[in-house]
Chains A and B, each alone.
Chain A
Amino acid sequence: EVQLVESGGGLVRPGESLRLSCEASGLSLSGYSVNWVRRLPGKGLEWVASVSTSSTYIHYADSVQGRFTISRDSAGNSVSLQLDSLRVEDTAVYYCRPRAEWLRDWGQGTTVIVSS
């Protein structure tokens, strides 16, 4: 059984930083592109960032470009999302998702709250 676990969320003030992590059991993340997706409160799902298997190709949503950084560890078994210069509108539940669309279950996500 594949399990995705996101961690690192928390309550921060505007302008502060957080580092989110994504790990998987039952699946090697190194074999897949990985996306971060967020669920904004009272709104829908929004794609945030993606990293290719070799980290060669990295893409960001316009809303986070220049503030967020996606990366893999050297073994490729975990994926991180560095959140800098956080804004109130970044408040959301963040999910990581390998590009393995046959996977039924997502992780529980990690909650980021940005508030003064």
Chain B
Amino acid sequence: NFMLTQPHSVSESPGGTVIISCTRSSGNIASTYVQWYRQIPGSGPTTLIYEDKERPSGVPDRFSGSIDSSANSASLKISGLKTEDEGDYYCQCYDGSTQVFGGGTRLTVL
């Protein structure tokens, strides 16, 4: 078993860029794909990134994902921040048939 650790919160101004990290506690981050989700209060989650860096149809290219094996972490980069980007962001990957979620990062755009 392993854990995924995210910063509790990040904040940035509109138009700016933010990077949210997701560090795997044990095992190789590159051994399974990482997904990123956003949840806005009152709504179901939305998938922003799958398979480390792929975007589902309809997700703008302001969102990008990457893996850093040297840091054993994944990152979600959001550029051109908008106020509607505010919400909770989660990384996730599979451990066999089970899912492991990061604790979530609250993004504030102010």
Interface residues, chain A, with chain B CB atoms under 8 Å away:
33, 35, 37, 39, 44-47, 50, 52, 57, 59, 61, 95, 101-109
Q: Report chain A residues within 8 Å CB of B33.
A: 101
- Between A39, A46, A95, A109, the greatest number of chain B beta carbons within 10 A of the residue's beta carbon is seen for A39
- Contact between A44 and B97 (Cβ–Cβ < 8 Å)? no
Bound-state Cα–Cα, A35 to B99, Å: 8
Q: Report chain A residues within 8 Å CB of B47.
A: 101-106
- Contact between B45 and A45 (Cβ–Cβ < 8 Å)? yes
Shortest B1–chain A CB gap in Å is 10
**Interface segment, one of B17-25, B35-43, B73-81:** B35-43
- Contact between B59 and A59 (Cβ–Cβ < 8 Å)? no
Shortest B36–chain A CB gap in Å is 10
Q: Report chain A residues within 8 Å CB of B58.
A: 104
Across the interface, B39 reaches (CB within 8 A) one of A39, A59, A103, namely A39
- Contact between B44 and A45 (Cβ–Cβ < 8 Å)? no
1/0 per residue B77-110: CB within 8 Å of A?
0000000000010101000111111111000000
